[in-house]
Structure 1
Amino acid sequence: MTRFTLSSPDIPSGGSVPPQFEFDGFGCAGQNQSPVLQWSGAPVGTQSFALTVYDPDAPTGSGWWHWLVVDLPAGTTTLAAHAGAQGGANLPAPARQIRNDYGAYAWGGMCPPPGDAPHRYIFTVHALSVPRLDIPDDASAALAGFMINAHTLEKATFTATYARPAA
């Protein structure tokens, strides 16, 4: 049996997120570009993929969604650097980005409060049992997450951390 895995040559699993992936705004000054992501070993029956990046440590009471991509074609195994650009032009059709917690339909880089303990960033690719999620383009991250989980055959994940020094 092949194991479903997700990795990035840019971000080591269990390591620290490099500063270029930091958000550009809210007091952060990174390049706000999404990393290369690659996966393999999707289960039989996969009809599409969804990708999420989530910070459970954000001081919001509900975490922080940095990136949500749905409707990635079943043959997709890699997202190139900066695939999360606003507008989705760097994603394979018919993939679409769901609004993140910055309010953008794009990658939103790391930007934990200065001096916080390192935040965990959970990168997850979901193998889905449907070719397209039945959600509107303006769906909330919570609705997208619900529908992603409702149709997940299997998921692969890795976690990395990021912190900013105290101001």
Structure 2
Amino acid sequence: MTLTISSPAFADGERIPDQYVRDSDNRSPPLEWQGEPEGTMSYALIVEDPDAPRGTFRHWAICDIPANRHELGEGEGQRGRGLHQLANDFGNAGYDGPQPPRGDGPHHYRFRLAALDTDHLDIPASARADAVWNAARPHILAEAELTGIYER
């Protein structure tokens, strides 16, 4: 079976609903995954916008998600929910939704999930979101991606 990630809130390639964007409720969308490979000990998740004017912008990063978890509920990315979340590119440890510049056209928000062969990534508490994927790379057993689109 192949690792897949999905959301009951939007399908791959579809518009992200307003309640998950920074200008609105700024709640993280519900996410579900399945098909992890044998040997998976944890997961890492990063949400990034490769269409940002100054280069890839990271909206959320989590690591050390236990292997027996297969979902993140709506709003679980709010700060202080017991997840190992790192500072996003807004400077907040938690989820901050899409907020592309007005009139910049559609942006593609990639929700990237990695199944890892380790239960813990050694990342300093002061690290930023990009550190999650850099630390995860040598441990990746499988990856899955869900893309949502949003424009203002």
TM range (shorter): over 0.9
Which residue matches 2:89?
101
> Which is higher, the Rg of structure 1 or of structure 2?
1
Displacement after TM superposition at 1:47 (Å): 0.5
> Aligned partner of 1:21: which letter?
Y
Which residue matches 2:2?
3
Which residue matches 1:51?
45
Are residues 1:133 and 2:121 paired? yes
The Cα offsets for residues 74-94 of structure 1, whole Å up to 9 and x where unpaired, read as: 1010100101011124xxxxx
CA distance in 1, matches of 2:70, 2:50: 26
> Aligned partner of 1:67: which letter?
W
CA contact 1:51–1:123 (8 Å) conserved in 2: yes
Displacement after TM superposition at 1:150 (Å): 2.1
CA contact 2:43–2:63 (8 Å) conserved in 1: yes
Are residues 1:85 and 2:78 paired? yes
CA contact 1:67–1:98 (8 Å) conserved in 2: yes
> Aligned partner of 1:154: which letter?
A
CA distance in 1, matches of 2:31, 2:78: 14
Displacement after TM superposition at 1:158 (Å): 1.3
Unaligned runs of 5+ in 1: 24-28, 90-94
Displacement after TM superposition at 1:138 (Å): 1.4
Unaligned runs of 5+ in 2: none
Using structure 2 for the length normalisation, give the TM-score: 0.96
Which residue matches 1:26?
none
Runs of 4+ in 1 over 4 A off after TM superposition: none
Displacement after TM superposition at 1:115 (Å): 0.5
Which residue matches 1:145?
133
> Aligned partner of 2:108: which letter?
R
Q: Say what the alpha-carbon RMSD is for the aligned residues.
A: 1.0
75-84 or 133-142, which moves further after superposition? 133-142
Which residue matches 1:111?
99
Tell me the number of residue pairs that the alignment of Structure 1 and Structure 2 aligns. Answer: 152
